Chain A
């Protein structure tokens, strides 16, 4: 059973536009939601993360919006640039219980930003 569902699978955005990637989860015990960015030939790297005590977190052009009641969170990339072209993964984990130490990833979104 997939713990974190991510959409869309691929996304094409024009330079300067807004890229939006969505994720949903079922387990209400999750309390840490990171986003990872992966360039071709490289390992994923942490981009931004949020905890459920806030509804939004912004770092530069990247914003996570979190809706606890809907069990959804999303990544918004403002003023998208060709250099943002990469695969993005959302993830979720919890800080207690039998699955402590597990980080569940979505299936990824391949973002292409056209110049």
Chain B
């Protein structure tokens, strides 16, 4: 089954404790992206990657890191989480081969709470 898989789905952590949210897609997509969803603010792009070893900042990259060492994986790293990073996070992928992003396929989301 074609899908984007995120882990963990739920996480409660404390300020400053490094964490990684993994994202993997099995559709051989070139493009991957991370979004955070907050009430009243919609979906805001954190980072995106148009290909392996190529990453770019979105609207809200502060406090986050990403890497794209393999085509299928795009982990989101919070080196020192803070309470304002409490949010619902979505990973998405797209076949994107130049031009618009095209249809994004989203994971089921990872709900992160930072105490």
Contact = CB atoms under 8 A, between A and B. Distances in A.
B106 A44 contact: yes
A4 B104 CA distance: 18
Chain A contact-residue range equals: 20 to 34
Determine which residue in B4, B33, B41, B101 has the highest number of CB atoms from chain A within 10 A of its CB, and name it: B101
Nearest to A91: B43
Chain B contact-residue range equals: 20 to 34
Prevailing SS type, chain A contact patch: loop
Interface in A51-107: 89, 93-96, 100-107
Interface of A: 6, 9, 31-32, 34, 36, 41-46, 49, 89, 93-96, 100-108
Contacts of B64: none
Contact of A108 (B31, B42, B56, B98): B42
B108 A101 contact: no
A46 B96 CA distance: 15
Interface of B: 4, 31, 33, 35, 40-45, 48, 50, 56, 58, 90, 92, 96, 98-101, 103-104, 106-109
Contacts of A105: 35, 42-45
Given A43-B90, A43-B92, A43-B109, A103 B104 contact: yes
B94 to A, nearest CB: 9
Contact of A43 (B41, B103, B108): B108
